Amino acid sequence: MDINLTIIGQSIAFAVFCWFCHRYVWPLFANVLEERKRTIAEGLEASAQAEQRLESASRQSAEQLDEAKASAAGIIEQANRRSAQIIDEARQQAQMEAERIMQAAQAEIEQEANRAKEELRARVSLIAVAGAEKILGRTVDQAANEDMLRQLAAEL
Amino acid sequence: MAAADAESQTVQEYIVHHLSYLTYGRHPDGHWGFAHSPEEASEMGFMAIHVDTMGWSIALGAAFLLWFRRVGLRASASNPGAIQNFVESIFEFVDNRVTEGFTHKNSLMAPMALTIFVWVLLMNTMDLVPVDWITGIAAWVGEHIFGFDHMPFKIVPTTDPNITMGMSLSIFVLIIWYSIKNKGLGGFLGELAFHPFGKWMVPFNLMIEIPTLLAKPISLGLRLFGNLYAGELLFLLIAGLLGLWQLPAHFAWAVFHLLVVPLQAFVFMMLTIVYLNAAHEPAH
């Protein structure tokens, strides 16, 4: 084996290459891998957060749905009550109207009957005198029997 | 491949040529220049450099780091492309090994493991390039352009013990440095002197622990060198001896080598992690 200056040359080359690699090559790849590792970790973290947010959002939406259902039920009930009230009021009004119309009709009937009575009362003396003339066969002096005829009409 | 040179070159010459390095160094007479034969190269002794393996080593390391940096600069966290995914899978593979094997805080450990793994992998992979392609082209260029007969040109850096030991000794220096830094000089020497048999057996302990310590870088460097050198040598033997039958033999050995190439890169990285982790353990 011929050992010579080459061994020193190779030692120097080895030192220089190690230094170069340490200074200019290794950090490039170490940084890239580190950055990739960080990106992946951040991605996983973000997905975990997104999952949490999704969960809370779906919980919130369920709550809101429940609330909306409750308020809709309240509104329907209120509407039902209101409609029942309106129907009630309408019924009362209708009854009142009907009563009013009936009273008016009764009053009119009474009036009509009274009028008929008055008319009858006014004519009763004539009818009585005509009847009496037929019976007596002669004229009855209406003026002479005025008192009796008035008495008769008043009794009607 | 070898057949073209068969008349002018014996198998032995062929193999020696392929196992020689393109060496630039100080000749015995004092001037600097290329060695034109293995003998000239060995006369240079320590004051020489293997231009071919050193050059391939630096070129591969630089290509890998610049490419990774280019991919890294364009990398996006959210929309990675195919090339980025490929580089990231290597990055994560190394990062996981470091996380499992290295339990202390040291920002240099992971980049160093990445550098070792990819760099050694690329250097080993050069072993799968057919032995005469680049070497043959280089020899032709050397002969016809530079007038350099039988110019050797080795392309697999990890078959050069200088390359593997250069790295393992650098790691050894780091082992010593971090041991002293984390355990204190006393703690580090204490581990050598008082284990495994306590303070009454100090010489015996040292006899065990010092070779254990020294064996780490030596075995680390020689394991890688030995595996790749043996692989290369077998490719050369197949190319030199088998004639046309070398094609299936090359294929079979290359398939087996596909296993060795990444395995040795992985082993080198893992042992570095393990040794440096031990250097960070507090003294006990």
d(CA A32, CA B78): 9
Q: How many CB pairs under 8 A join A and B?
A: 120
In degrees and rounded to multiples of 5, residue B48 shows phi and psi of -150, 160
Which residue in the block uniquely carries the two structure tokens 């009818």? A127
Residue B3: predicted pLDDT? 47
Helices B161-193 & B246-280 angle (0-180, nearest 10): 30
Cβ-contact B281, B191 below 8 angstroms: no
Give this prediction's pTM.
Answer: 0.76
CB count in 10 Å sphere of residue B243: 12
Say whether pLDDT at B5 is over 50.
Answer: no
Residue A116: predicted pLDDT? 92
Residue B1: predicted pLDDT? 43
Pick the catalytic residue: B42, B85, B96, B219?
B219
Question: Letter for the amino acid at A16?
Answer: V
Nearest CB to A3: which of B46, B69, B170? B46
Q: Do B112 and A39 touch (CB under 8 A)?
A: no
The predicted-structure confidence for B184-219, as pLDDT tens digits, reads as follows 998 899 888 887 887 888 889 899 999 999 999 999
Nearest CB to A25: which of B72, B160, B165? B72
B227 in catalytic set: yes
- What is the mean pLDDT of the segment spanning A41-69? 96
d(CA B172, CA A28): 28
Question: Letter for the amino acid at B20?
Answer: S
pLDDT above 90 covers a percentage of chain A that reads 72
Looking only at the bridges linking them, the beta strands covering B32-34 and B48-50 are unpaired
B97 in catalytic set: no
CB count in 10 Å sphere of residue B58: 17
Pick the catalytic residue: B37, B170, B223, B277?
B223
The secondary structure of residue B24, as a DSSP letter, is: E
Say whether pLDDT at B30 is over 50.
Answer: yes
Say whether pLDDT at B4 is over 90.
Answer: no
Looking only at the bridges linking them, the beta strands covering B23-26 and B48-50 are antiparallel
Helix, strand, coil distribution of chain B in percent, nearest 5: 75, 5, 20
Nearest CB to B162: which of A6, A17, A32? A6
Q: Do A29 and B87 touch (CB under 8 A)?
A: yes
Pick the catalytic residue: B124, B179, B205, B227?
B227
- In the three-class reduction of DSSP (H, G, I as helix; E, B as strand; rest coil), residue B130 is classed as coil
Residue B58: predicted pLDDT? 97
Question: Letter for the amino acid at B234?
Answer: L
Say whether pLDDT at B8 is over 60.
Answer: no
Within 8 A of A5 by CB-CB distance, chain B residues are 25, 46-49
Q: Do B42 and A6 touch (CB under 8 A)?
A: no
Average pLDDT along chain B: 90
d(CA B125, CA B31): 36
Cα of B37 to nearest chain A Cα, Å: 14
Nearest CB to B41: which of A2, A3, A17? A2
Cβ-contact B132, B246 below 8 angstroms: no
Say whether pLDDT at A131 is over 80.
Answer: yes
Residue B220: predicted pLDDT? 96
Question: Which of A1, A24, A29, A34 is most worth mutating to test chain B (most B CB atoms within 10 A of its CB)?
Answer: A29
- What is the mean pLDDT of the segment spanning A8-18? 96
Which residue in the block uniquely carries the two structure tokens 């057919």? B130
Residue A1: predicted pLDDT? 59
Pick from B54, B57, B62: which is nearest to B22 by CA? B54
Cβ-contact B165, A7 below 8 angstroms: yes
Asked if A14 has any chain B CB less than 8 Å from its own CB, the reply is yes
The predicted-structure confidence for B43-88, as pLDDT tens digits, reads as follows 888 999 999 999 999 999 999 999 999 999 998 888 889 999 999 9
Question: Letter for the amino acid at A14?
Answer: F
CA dihedral B187, B189, B193, B199 (to 10 degrees): -40
Say whether pLDDT at B284 is over 70.
Answer: no
- In the three-class reduction of DSSP (H, G, I as helix; E, B as strand; rest coil), residue B34 is classed as strand
Pick from B111, B18, B128: which is nearest to B68 by CA? B111
Confidence of residue B111 (pLDDT cuts 50, 70, 90): very high
- In the three-class reduction of DSSP (H, G, I as helix; E, B as strand; rest coil), residue B119 is classed as helix
Give, in order, the Cα–Cα distances in Å from B256 to each of B244, B260, B261, B263, B264: 20, 7, 9, 11, 13
The predicted-structure confidence for B149-195, as pLDDT tens digits, reads as follows 888 999 999 999 999 999 999 999 999 999 999 999 988 998 888 87
Say whether pLDDT at B7 is over 60.
Answer: no
B107 in catalytic set: no
> Which residues, in sequence order, are CB contacts of B183 under 8 Å at separation 6+?
B190, B191, B281, B282, B283
